[in-house]
Structures are given as C-alpha cells and as structure tokens.
Structure 1
C-alpha cells in the first residue's frame, strides 16, 4: 500500500539573476564584448545603442569634445565653408569621409607570409596547393595543427605526397617550423645545427631516445643508459636549453622590424582614475565598443500593445515577447551590477592606496588584500576575486596596470627589500633580520627566511659580503 507524506525543508536555490551577474563579473573586457554581442544576436528584445557614442573615439558624445563642437552653429558654418569656399571652389572632398585610416596601416608580417615567401623556390608548382594548405594550418608558435590524412583528403592527393611536401616545409626558416610536437621541433632544430657543422650527437640522442627522462630531469638514468658521465649529459641538456627554442614561429619578424619581439598585445582598461582641476581623483568605469546595449523600445511598445489588446495575439506570441523582455532586463541588470561593483572596488583601492596614486611609485604601495576589500564593501571575497580577475585600471599618468597589481603584497615587500638595501649605510649593512624588522615596522609581516629568499631572487649579496665589497 502506498503512503503519501508531506514534509517541509529548506533548500538553497541559485537565483538566475545572481548566476548571470557573477558570470558577467568574472568576464574580461574581450569576453564581455563577445557575450554582449552574442546576447544581442540571440535576444531580439536587446539591441545595440550606438547612437550616443562618438564614431571616432567610441566615447559618449557628451564626453567627446568633437561631438560637442559639432552641435554648435560655428562648426556647421565651418563645414559649409569647407564645402563651398569663398572663391566658389571646394576645399573639402566628400569622398575623403569614406576613407578608413585603419585600412591605410600596413598589415603585420606573419609567419605564414615568411613561409610562403620561401616555399616557392623549393617545391614544384603542382605541390603549391598542398604547401599552402599546410602553411595555413601552422599556428603562430610554428606547430602544424592538422592531421596529414586530413590534408591529403582536402587536397585530393596521396598521404605520401603530403608527407613529402611537409618535409619541404620543415626545411624552411626558422628551423623547427612545421613540427607536430615539441620533440619533433627540437629534432628539426638539431638537424639544422648538424648541417651547419655543430656537434649535436649527444643532444640529438637524448631528445630522440630519452625524451621522457629529459622532461623528468633524470640525468643519472640517461647517463647510465648512454654509458657517458653525468657531466656530459648535463652539458648536453644545457645545450638544448640554450641553443634550441620550443616556439620557433614567435621569432619570425621582417628584417626591417627591430622591435617586433618586444611588441605585446595591448589591453583595454576597465576603469580609469582621473584627476580634475582641483587635484582630486575620480573613478570612471569605461564603456567599451560593442557593450552599449538597451532594451528594444519597439519590443516594449509591442508588449504594451499586447497588454491593451491581448485577444489580438496568441498565447505563444505573448509568452515569447514576455520571456525576451525579461531576459533582456535581467541582462541589463547584470551589466549594471558589474559596473557598480567595479566602481566600488576601484574607489576602495583609491582610498586605501591613495599615497601610491599621488606618486605612482611602487615604494608607496601599502599591503592590501582582497579579503580586506570584501570586508569594507560587505561582500564575499569571491565576489571581489571575480571583480578583479583579468581587469585593468588606468592610472592618472596613463599607465595601465592590472587590478591585482594593488594586491601584490609579496611583490611590494620584495621591492622594499631592494629599496632598503640601496639606502643602507655602506659601512654597516643591514642583516636579514634587521631588514625583516624594518619591513614589519612598515606594515609588512615578512620573516627573515622570506627576506633571504627575496634577496637571492634580486641577486643581492649577504650583509657580510656587501660590507667586504664596499
């Protein structure tokens, strides 16, 4: 016999709004832009609001000096003067407005350009399509990211022919390009060095036959297997580390580009700290291109019409419009919550690290933790962790740093060790314990052993050796 019973229980249930807010908060600038674009494409009730952004700088029009100037009568009169001219001829070509200055910038020199420039001289024209397919599947690090059987099927040729063309690609500069794994990459580089006359017998044997022992640093085991002294194995490993490079593609640059190896992808700040005319600081949460969205007014009007005249629409139509509007409003609330938390975190950091913002000197950084920020804002520490993950802040000088820069207590203490040593009395250098005591007086709880570690990382000698050298 079946019995039915009732019981009451408390169960935690995740709020969809909270889940969405946490997901948006954890996103970087690029991830947020992609999420907004995807949501705008999936939800017809959400649309981009680009009419209030400057087409040049993508800043709000009220913050853009050019947009403010365009609203004045003087600017309109000047535009008419440019188009007509006092002498009856035109000073302004309307076609110039259609020129995109970005399109005039030269394209970057890629690894694929470098390989295509070489491959035509060593293969037949019949194999050019195969080589082009393989080169297109080589990533920026120089590794082949496609299966040879897949290439043979795509090019409608035999597997042996694809392998022959791959060997030709692997003979190009830089050595090691076209490899399918790090082991093959190092072997290709060793083969190139051997052709140049270098003695690479032992390093080549180690990479080819003792790869697992090499990556596990089992030098003694390799020495016994090869019947050579351990010193020879260590010299061979040192040769591999110093003469070979696991990512050959990243070293490619045109001969006229002297600083290509120093170029790093730029980051967009999420928050900017600006200084006004009075010298006080203010926090601005920046809007990025593609993230300015709004609830579609046409969908709002449609929903209002459905409420006034429900019989003109089916139940499915009303439910679809209502769900789309609810989803759009929830997404907008999540965006606002993200913006508000970034502003509060930045304002708290500005208050706690105010001496640093005045000088922007690392010596003025104070110990600060995410848990302290969380307690000041009365939120959970995980919320602050999501808020500062992959986020960047622009200083008043224009420098862009990560939010985590202000929580790098160990990094700041390490820098303070260097500052203390540089300003000590040369005749009586500080010991590690004395440096630890000085740091504790400055608010850094650093033990003597930690000072020793920092000193060795900074290549600073001991107090006795510093006294002797000076």
Structure 2
C-alpha cells in the first residue's frame, strides 16, 4: 500500500487561554497588598501607565477620552495606534460599577481600626525569643526549640524527654537542663508536664519553697482533685488535722493556691499579630444593605497622556519605538481591564453573600446559613473556581465584625424536620453550652449530643468531639479538674 499525501479540512474546538484571561485569573486570588505590589511594579516598568493623583480621583479616565467603541486587545493580533487610543473608557468603568467612595464621617463611624488588630504574639514566639536571649549554645537552642514546639496552647509540655533526646541527639542531662530553663520563662508555670508541676513552678517563683502551699500541691493535690471545690471545707478540716496546723494557716495556703494559674499559656493567642484591612464594606441603610468596595490605598491607573499623544499624533519616526509603545499600551489596557474585572467579580460575589446571609447580618451567628461555592456561582453566573479565587484572602467588614469571605462558606448539619443548620452555628451553640455548664458537673460530649437532639439538631458524638477540639475546649474531666483548682 503506497503512502500518499492529501489535504483534509477538520473542524475542532479547543480552549485558548489569552494573555488577558491569564492576567485576570492571576489577579483574582491576590490580597490587597499583593495587588498593590503588582500595580506598583507595572507603574515602574510600563511607561504607558500613570497613577491618577488623589486630587483627580473623583474623575474617571472616561472624562478625557473620545471614541466610537472598545476593541478587545486579546482578540486582535496587532492594533494600530488610533484603535488603541480611541477607547470609550465608560466601558472600562461602567457607571453601575463606579466607586462612589464612602463618606468619611460614615466610614469613621462604622469602621474602627481597633477592631482589625489581632493579639500581639504567640506563646511559641514569646518563648523562643526568651530562649534566644538566654543562651548562644547551639545545642541548648536546638533542644529548646524542639521542646517549645511541643508546648500546647495551655502551656503544658506534651512530649517525653526521651522523644526530645531522640530528635536532638542530646543527653538526658542536657534536655532536663533546657526544660528547667524554659520553665523559668514568662508566663510563670509554662513547660510543666502536668498540673502538679505547673503549680509547683509558680509556687517556687513566688519564693514559697518549703511552704504549706508547696506541701499541699506536692502531696495532697490528688485529694483536692478527687474531692472537688464543693467539698473544700471538709478538705481544709482534714488538712488541719493531718498536718497539725491551725485553720487559719490552711485557709491562707488554700487562698494562695486559688490564685495560681492552671493554664498559663492561655494569656497568649494562637495567631500572630495582623491588621486586617477589609476589601468590602457592608453598611445597612434603612432596610437594605449597601456594598462598598474599599479601594483606599489601591492606585488608580490611566494611560499616560504624553505617550498617548505621541502615538495618536503619528510622531513616532522609529518603527521599533512605535511597536514598543503599542505593546506597552496593550499591556496597560489588559491590566486596567483585569483590575476592573476583579472589582466587578468581587462586588458580585459580595452582593450574593449578603443576599444569602442577610439574617446573619441582621441577627448574628445563630442565623448563619449553610453555603457552598456552587450556590454563589449559580447565583452570579460564574464558575465555582472563580468564586473560590475571589474569596481568597478577601475580607468583609460588617456590623457583626470583620470576616474573610471564605468564612461564609461551610457545610450544614441536618435538623429534624427543618432546614439544615450551619456547622458554625452548631459550634457556637456548643461553646455556649460549655460556658453555661455547672463547673462541678461539666457536660460530656454525649450529653451535648442529647441537648442538641432536643433542639432538633441531628449530630454524632464524634462530630461534637471534633467541633469541641476545634474550639480548643478541653474534655469534661479536664474542665472539671481545672474548675476545682480555680475554686480552691
């Protein structure tokens, strides 16, 4: 069979990712800071771009432009200078999307920067800083960093010394010496391996070695835990008799013990300091919510009038220079349109979230509804991936607080005969139940399941356990012990 060449036509479809589309997708997930950095970089590298001065910001670039229409740079191979410059900027900044700005008085009243400041540092960072200032011995630092990494948010060491020895190749004496060093750090009591050691560290810091308080913690703490705070009078009588001391001496020791902290690490937060600037501001005006995009600090761009005149007037004698400016102009237009597309998408998503979560905005967390990306995507006619990108590291300021847009997307829990309930609402309910429980009779996870069932919330015990851990709430037995120590 011979080989022959022939010409055949075939129609196919394929997805082409244009430069503008790539840029638009790239900008969507960027935070405010990243977007500003990109814009500043482009202003440095692209002579066709210039920043609109603050005094001119009330005017849109449309005001000094004339033209018959807009030509999409991504759909053309090469555009001549006239086509590039004769643009109707109203299509870039449509009236319905134009940022009107938020009246300063209303912004100042509704938005407080104090509400955006998170707590200053973490326990781990605080301890590590003290470690680095305490020694320049590399082995001590290595062991110290490992031990600090295994101290939980309450301030307790959650690893064995053998684990530290294996991980750092240090001798036991070195590990014990480093642990003793960490136990001398602020907050007092940190690094204890159990409640007894935590309290003894604080007692020794107060200079009460050999005191009655140290004796009670060293020898009678199990009795206090077993009998509980409700029987503290009986315990005091027993200690008075056993130790052959006066009631006043025992009472004084128990009062000192009451003021020790069983969770010294909780004075630090689990997250680093961060100031959050919202991308979207939601304000209630009358019965409706108005949405404002917070463009403060984001440079507004326009095409340079100087270089625009050069291209429009045909004054470019060198073809290479003309081609360079035309390419830079296309790049500038792509960036401006991509930024505007990002704004429009952010507005649409925020508006959809406000529509779905209006009851939350009115009444608080108990009214938060289950919501998934698909719901918003279908509402605004966009793909789920687009919604996911635009909700990444974007924040909304509401009268209920400042929330990342992703906060509003979460699963639902079945209810008996009613609509699904937000998992965040269930977590909030668990938190309130634990806060209101009797200290000497804390609720077990199974009891919480039963209470929620009476409230028509269908949830498994393992799910309650998972939510409790995510809320950083100890189990019932530990909550009881901590309560007893506080009430001694």
TM-score range, shorter chain: 0.5 to 0.7
How does 1:61-210 map onto structure 2 within 5 Å?
174-176=133-135, 183=142, 186=145, 207=164, 210=166
Aligned pair partner of 2:372 in 369, 377, 383: 369
Contact 2:395 2:403 in 1 (8 A): yes
Aligned pair partner of 1:46 in 45, 49, 60: 49
- SS of 1:174 mapped into structure 2: helix
Matches of 1:140 and 1:4, distance apart in 2:
76
Matches of 1:141 and 1:332, distance apart in 2:
47
Structure-2 residue corresponding to 1:458: 473
Deviations 1:416-450 (A, max 9, x none): 23346678999x998455455467x56xx743431
- SS of 1:275 mapped into structure 2: strand
Structure-1 residue corresponding to 2:360: 356
Matches of 1:431 and 1:187, distance apart in 2:
38
Contact 2:128 2:145 in 1 (8 A): no
Once the 2 structures are TM-superposed, how far is the Cα of residue 177 of structure 1 from its aligned partner?
A: 6.2
Q: CA RMSD in A?
A: 4.9
How does 1:284-303 map onto structure 2 within 5 Å?
284-303=292-311
Deviations 1:330-349 (A, max 9, x none): 10111011111111111111
CA shift in 2, pair 1:187/1:330, >3 Å: closer
How does 1:8-47 map onto structure 2 within 5 Å?
8=10, 9-47=12-50
Once the 2 structures are TM-superposed, how far is the Cα of residue 357 of structure 1 from its aligned partner?
A: 1.2
Once the 2 structures are TM-superposed, how far is the Cα of residue 64 of structure 1 from its aligned partner?
A: 5.7
- SS of 2:335 mapped into structure 1: helix
Structure-2 residue corresponding to 1:87: none
| TM-score (normalizing by structure 2) | 0.51
Matches of 2:431 and 2:35, distance apart in 1:
39
Contact 1:270 1:285 in 2 (8 A): yes
Structure-1 residue corresponding to 2:329: 325
Paired positions, count:
308
CA shift in 2, pair 1:288/1:180, >3 Å: farther
1:273 paired with 2:277, answer: no
Matches of 2:139 and 2:168, distance apart in 1:
17
1:412 paired with 2:425, answer: yes
CA shift in 2, pair 1:182/1:446, >3 Å: farther
Deviations 1:74-124 (A, max 9, x none): xxxxxxxxxxxxxxxxxxxxxxxxxxxxxxxxxxxxxxxxxxxxxxxxxxx
Structure-1 residue corresponding to 2:212: none
Where do 5+ consecutive residues of structure 2 fail to align?
58-98, 106-124, 149-159, 187-266, 412-422
Once the 2 structures are TM-superposed, how far is the Cα of residue 459 of structure 1 from its aligned partner?
A: 3.7
Structure-2 residue corresponding to 1:378: 381
Matches of 2:369 and 2:292, distance apart in 1:
23
Contact 1:420 1:435 in 2 (8 A): no
Matches of 1:341 and 1:187, distance apart in 2:
45
Once the 2 structures are TM-superposed, how far is the Cα of residue 176 of structure 1 from its aligned partner?
A: 4.8
Contact 2:142 2:168 in 1 (8 A): no
- SS of 1:282 mapped into structure 2: strand
Deviations 1:164-222 (A, max 9, x none): xxxxxx9x962256959962654999xxxxxxxxxxxx95x865x522689xxxxxxxx
Once the 2 structures are TM-superposed, how far is the Cα of residue 33 of structure 1 from its aligned partner?
A: 0.7
Aligned pair partner of 2:398 in 395, 404, 424: 395
Contact 1:142 1:179 in 2 (8 A): no
Once the 2 structures are TM-superposed, how far is the Cα of residue 318 of structure 1 from its aligned partner?
A: 2.2
Structure-1 residue corresponding to 2:290: 282
- SS of 2:348 mapped into structure 1: helix
Where do 5+ consecutive residues of structure 1 fail to align?
55-59, 67-138, 144-169, 190-201, 215-224, 246-259
Matches of 2:348 and 2:274, distance apart in 1:
28
**Runs of 4 or more off by more than 6 Å in structure 1?**
139-143, 235-245, 260-263, 421-426
CA shift in 2, pair 1:187/1:243, >3 Å: farther
| TM-score (normalizing by structure 1) | 0.53
